Amino acid sequence: MSKTQHYQYDVIIIGSGAAGLSLALQLPEHTRIALICKDTLTEGSTYYAQGGVAAVFDKNDSVEAHKEDTLITGDHLSQPEVVSFVVEQAVSCIEWLQREGVMFTEDTAEKGHLHLTQEAGHSHRRVVHAADATGRAVSTTLAQLVKNRQNIDLFSHHLAIDLIKDKNAPRCIGAYVYNTINNQTHTFAAKAVVLATGGASRVYLYSTNPSVSSGDGIAMAWRAGCRVANLEFNQFHPTCLYHPHAHSLLLTEAIRGEGGVLRLPNGEPFLDKFDSRLELAPRDIVARAIDHEMKRLGCAHVYLDISHKPAAFIRKSFPNLYQRCLELGLDMTRQALPVVPAAHYTCGGVMTDLHGQTDLPGLYAIGEVAHTGLHGANRMASNSLLECLVFARAAARHIIAQPNVQETMTIASWDESQVSVAHENIMISHNWEELRRIMWNYVGIVRSHQRLKQAHDRIAILKQEVHDYYARFYIHPDLIELRNLVTVADLMVRCAMSRKENLGLHYNIDLVDARKGDAGDTILRP
């Protein structure tokens, strides 16, 4: 049995993206915090986010317009009170980031004003950005501040396995965490545990997300008894670069916002056949349009073309993408870029209230792991980083307001007495590959009753195989992630099978479209 260490803190934050980092920085400096990240401090979806943060700064824009755009994009499944709660705090969140040192791109035409771009679903220019690498600017700035805080202990290369509940009361009191460097499992106890683990798009074969997006928080919360909702709504970003050496390079929404056109292989634009908003239609519509044309023509990809714009404008607006494409042999100032849709964002998740609280006292969920009611059936571009910031602030305030009761928590050590060393790991690699192909082929952009049933039946077998393997052998990172992925895949399929109408990101060829405002959330209870 490996040596177990026991840690005790005031707050445990699992995840170090925009949500986790923001929360850590907004808790008082006398709060003892453990910040647990499964890779390096900045590795996660936030770092790779290109677009920006939606907020109303344009005098011709309004908070009401931002709310209305969010509701329309979410196919009227978003909760209006949650949309108001988030959108009304957008400007103050941007101002907080600026005070913390995040350098956003300024408008050269209006000194002292932030440059605003427009993305799909938005009726106005309201996306605040740092060139085309906003996530990197936010992540690196906040990460450096966290490193300088004496009350925050960083646990990089630590992977949470399961949440720990109080044996005497329905409350979360900690987590079992695996150190991927020395292969030891430790216990972490705290009065508040926060899931900021991101989404689950790596359950699909093709994704824009980094490998850490394996649904860990959703799976752990489900096993701990929390409800989940709307996991049938997985957003596929319409424009992921199609290239053998860049499987997850996202081409930012802002390219279309700045005049980029989607074209068929013969150069013909095609979105006019699907939506009057053309390239600025919501992502679900654009992704389905691309999927339809690829299947109709039997082609491997379509093209995103902004080469008709001045080369200097393209290089200034998209400096990082321009350079990365050049490295891959593509010049976006001179040629159209081959693109395909790829799994991008998990719109459902662990159900929370406006404080980020889950069903389990002591447990919070913020960021992409959570279902807050903001996104409805489809997330509007650049509302995701905003949601991270707003709910990190809300959770911090709620945690601070809780009674400061001093207590020492007794938690049992991780028990490995009944397991042995596996002599081969082929089951893990095989099931990992099969699961992702099942999800891509049967639970992707377009679904059917038969495809969902096939996915459900095969995933049930995979779940049992993974459960048996987990019970018999020592754990390691691939097994922990596979266990979480198969759990989340099962929840996604169950949500999709429960949805009786086409709505937003859920499109089943055997169903009819929902009447606007008539549909409700798909909620699963353990």
Complete DSSP assignment for 7-67: EEEEEEEE--SHHHHHHHHHS-TTS-EEEE-SSSTT-SHHHH--S-EE---STT--HHHHH
Containing domain of residue 496, as a range? Answer: 426-509
Looking at the fold, whether 41 and 172 belong to one and the same domain comes out as yes
What is the model's pLDDT at position 58?
93
Among residues 306, 328, 343, which one ends one of the domains? Answer: 343
pLDDT tier at 91, thresholds 50, 70, 90:
very high
Cα separation values, 129 from 97, 98, 125, Å: 12, 12, 11
What is the model's pLDDT at position 295?
87
Looking at the fold, whether 266 and 311 belong to one and the same domain comes out as yes
Looking at the fold, whether 303 and 338 belong to one and the same domain comes out as yes
In a domain, 142, yes or no: yes
Quick check: helix, strand or coil at residue 383? Answer: coil
In a domain, 521, yes or no: no
Looking at the fold, whether 297 and 395 belong to one and the same domain comes out as no
What is the model's pLDDT at position 103?
95
Looking at the fold, whether 68 and 23 belong to one and the same domain comes out as yes
347 contact partners, CB below 8 Å, separation of at least 6: 230, 233, 234, 235, 375, 376, 377, 378, 379, 504, 505
In a domain, 1, yes or no: no
Q: State the amino acid at position 107 in one-letter form.
A: D
Looking at the fold, whether 242 and 221 belong to one and the same domain comes out as no
CATH of the domain at 228: 3.50.50.60
In a domain, 301, yes or no: yes
- Percent share of the chain, pLDDT over 90: 78
End-to-end CA distance of the chain: 31
Looking at the fold, whether 214 and 321 belong to one and the same domain comes out as no
493 has pLDDT over 80: yes
Q: Kindly report the pTM of this predicted structure.
A: 0.91
Per-residue pLDDT tens digits for 208-245: 888 899 999 999 999 999 999 999 999 998 899 998 88
What is the model's pLDDT at position 498?
96
What is the model's pLDDT at position 405?
61
In a domain, 352, yes or no: yes
Among residues 401, 417, 438, which one ends one of the domains? Answer: 401
Per-residue pLDDT tens digits for 349-374: 999 999 999 999 999 999 999 999 99
Looking at the fold, whether 391 and 441 belong to one and the same domain comes out as no
Number of domains comprising the chain: 3
Which tokens sit at 384? 């995701």
In a domain, 98, yes or no: yes
CATH of the domain at 332: 3.90.700.10
Least confident stretch, 60-64, 347-351, 415-419: 415-419
Cα separation values, 136 from 12, 22, 320, 465, Å: 24, 14, 11, 39
Looking at the fold, whether 339 and 441 belong to one and the same domain comes out as no
Per-residue pLDDT tens digits for 315-340: 999 998 999 999 999 999 999 999 99
- The Cα–Cα gap between 321 and 382 comes to 18
- Selecting among 283, 288, 436, 499, the annotated active-site residue is 283
In a domain, 409, yes or no: no
In a domain, 255, yes or no: yes
96 has pLDDT over 50: yes
Instruction: Identify whether 296 is a catalytic site residue.
Output: no
What is the model's pLDDT at position 406?
58
Looking at the fold, whether 61 and 159 belong to one and the same domain comes out as yes
Looking at the fold, whether 466 and 487 belong to one and the same domain comes out as yes
pLDDT tier at 2, thresholds 50, 70, 90:
low
pLDDT tier at 445, thresholds 50, 70, 90:
very high
What is the model's pLDDT at position 109?
80
CATH of the domain at 466: 1.20.58.100
- The DSSP letter of residue 290 is H
Q: State the amino acid at position 186 in one-letter form.
A: H
Looking at the fold, whether 86 and 187 belong to one and the same domain comes out as yes
Containing 291, the helix (H) or strand (E) segment is helix 283-297
Q: Which residue has the higher pLDDT, 131 or 154?
A: 154
> What is the mean pLDDT of the segment spanning 297-311?
94
1 has pLDDT over 50: no
What is the model's pLDDT at position 364?
98
pLDDT tier at 422, thresholds 50, 70, 90:
confident
pLDDT tier at 132, thresholds 50, 70, 90:
confident
Among residues 297, 327, 343, which one ends one of the domains? Answer: 343
Q: Report whether 183 contacts 476 (CB < 8 A).
A: yes
Least confident stretch, 64-73, 105-114, 435-444, 453-462: 105-114
What is the model's pLDDT at position 272?
94
Comparing CA positions, the residue from 326, 327, 332, 366 lying closest to residue 350 is 366
Phi-psi category of residue 365: left, alpha or beta, with phi > 0 → left and psi -120 to 50 → alpha: beta
> What is the mean pLDDT of the segment spanning 446-466?
96
